[in-house]
Homo-oligomer: A and B are copies of this chain.
Amino acid sequence: MNPNPLRNSTGREVRHLCRTGAWTRPTPGAALGFVQANLVVVPQDWAFDFLLFCQRNPKPCPLLDVTDPGDPQPRQVAPGADLRTDLPKYRVYRDGQLSETRTDLCDLWRDDLVAFVIGCSFTFENALLSAGIPVRHIEEGKNVPMYRTQRLCQPAGRFSGPMVVSMRPMTPEQAIRATAICARFPRAHGTPIHLGASQTLGIADLNQPDYGDAVTIGADEIPVFWACGVTPQAVAVASKVPFLVTHEPGHMFLTDLRDSDLEGE
């Protein structure tokens, strides 16, 4: 797989390229070492319920920043950024259905919208790679495979629905090391939620992910599952949320934080 051409850019530089429309592609490997993030935007009327949902479901939804109503600037993680323009691609959900994909939110933005910036697995994947633990979908040049599970999130107000997980195959010994490494990153989904028996999560076929791409699983490997930041999208559908905006999976928001900023405290 070719490295991302934005590999040596800063988070700010990637945001600028997105803002000008010069970059609309996936962000894995971009601005290596900078924290990438999931985005969820809801109207203020739904913001308490969603904030509570994140508080009750910190593994799929570890919060990095929440904006004031109407403010598109995530002041804690990327001062000066504009969440309306600075992601490569967005998804708009209306009444619980994916309604459109677009490259900016300018004409959709409203004074009552609240944006949630949520930690992403790319942070711990960088740490796994640094530790010599292979990450299959990166080796194979694919998106990570993601699955809607039968495990339900803790409901909060009008939000309820299934947890989405991402899966990385590895040997049991690698899974143990990966668990220890990911424990350092509770704000990037933290430790796995399950390993081994995919049917326990209600996943019928690992070769048919609900989001992303299937990857090769070696004979000596087990599937290891992490809570995933795409969960709010599945929950938006299950909860028939009237209006909710997210990033396009794999097309993340680049913050100014460094991966090491998410370690522990």
Q: Which residues of A does B touch, CB under 8 Å? A: 44, 47-48, 51-52, 55-56, 63, 66, 68, 76, 154, 156-157, 183, 186, 190-191, 264-265
Distance in Å: Cβ of A264 to nearest Cβ of chain B: 6
A68 and B264 contacting across the interface, CB-CB below 8 Å: no
Contact with A51, one of B44, B52, B76, B183 (Cβ below 8 angstroms) = B52
**Top 7 A-B residue pairs of the complex, sorted by shortest distance between their CB atoms:** A48-B48, A51-B51, A190-B265, A186-B265, A191-B265, A55-B63, A52-B66
24 A-B pairs with C-beta separation under 8 A: A44-B48, A47-B48, A48-B48, A48-B51, A51-B51, A51-B52, A51-B55, A52-B66, A55-B55, A55-B63, A55-B66, A56-B66, A56-B76, A68-B156, A68-B157, A76-B154, A183-B264, A183-B265, A186-B186, A186-B264, A186-B265, A190-B265, A191-B265, A264-B264
Which of A66, A156, A265 has its CB near the most chain B CB atoms (within 10 A)?
Answer: A265
**A47, B156: Cα distance in complex, Å:** 13
| Shortest distance between the CB of A8 and any CB in chain B (Å) | 32
Which chain B residues lie closer than 8 Å to A191 at the CB level? 265
* Most chain B beta-carbon contacts within 10 A, residue among A55, A68, A190, A264: A55
Q: Which residues of the partner chain B approach A63 to less than 8 Å between Cβ atoms?
A: 55
Bound-state CA distance A265–B183 (Å) is 7
Assembly CA distance A68 to B48 (angstroms): 11
Bound complex: CA of A56 vs CA of B186, how far in Å?
16
For residue A80, give the distance in angstroms from its CB to the closest CB of chain B. Answer: 17
Nearest CB to that of A44 among chain B residues? B48
The residue in chain B whose Cβ has the minimal distance to the Cβ of A191 is B265
How far, in whole Å, are A190 and B154 apart by their CA atoms in the complex?
Answer: 25
A190–B186 Cα distance when bound, in Å, is 14
Q: Which residues of B contact A186 (CB under 8 A)?
A: 186, 264-265
Tell me the complex Cα distance, A56–B66, Å: 8
A60 CB, min distance to chain B CBs, angstroms: 13
